[in-house]
Amino acid sequence: MNNDEASEQLQIAVQNQQHGPGKIAKLAQDGFDLNYSPLPQHPVFLAIAFHHFNIVNALIDHGLRFDHRDPQHHNASLIQRLRSQRDFFEGFVNSPDHKESRSIIKRRLQGTLQAIEKYNRLVAAGTIAPIEDPPEQTNAELADQLEEKLKDIPGMQEAMQALLNNLRNES
């Protein structure tokens, strides 16, 4: 099986929470580099979107690097996406509005925490370097960048000024 075929198999595996970890182990055993992806977005981010954290952990266990970037989420690193998911799930666990699904959310949170802990252990052991993500930009910073890009377009300055002021006021 060539890399593109194996990559296609990986793309399918990350969508199958039940059989995916076994398929991932088989791909790794057959020598496929799980870090290879011909697509701009690595399949691990699809697993995160589906909340398949057993898949994420299987990928990490079989050598997935943490430096992959998600173009669908402002080029965030894998660890940044996991931390974002952790914060999201922790908010739901503590929310009185989600009592009926609390066990599912706790299970997803547990999987997220396992992946983050694996990252922390690898960094502490010196196996990998910490991933440095840029700080998230505030609305005011984004407004300044937008204003700079639009200032030379005729008539755009006035039309965008109200929107930019609103963005700055929200920060």
Give the model's pLDDT for residue 104: 83
For residue 134, tell me if it sits in a domain: no
Give the model's pLDDT for residue 124: 94
% of the chain surpassing 70 pLDDT = 87
Give the model's pLDDT for residue 74: 82
Mean pLDDT of 48-72: 92
Burial of 49: CB neighbours in 10 Å, binned 0-12, 13-18, 19+:
middle
**Based on the domain organization, do 160 and 95 belong to the same domain?**
no
72/78 Cα distance (integer angstroms): 12
Among 88, 53, 63, which Cα is nearest to 73's? 88
Helix, coil or strand: residue 110 = helix
The number of domains in the chain is 2
**Based on the domain organization, do 83 and 149 belong to the same domain?**
no
**Based on the domain organization, do 12 and 37 belong to the same domain?**
yes
Nearest 10 degrees: CA dihedral of 79, 82, 87, 88?
150
**Based on the domain organization, do 10 and 84 belong to the same domain?**
yes
Mean pLDDT of 47-72: 92
Domain residues for the domain of 20 are 3-124
pTM score, whole prediction: 0.70
Tokens 């666990």 belong to which residue?
93
**What does the pLDDT look like over 108-146, one tens digit per residue?**
899 999 999 999 999 999 998 888 877 666 667 767 777
**Based on the domain organization, do 73 and 154 belong to the same domain?**
no
61/76 Cα distance (integer angstroms): 21
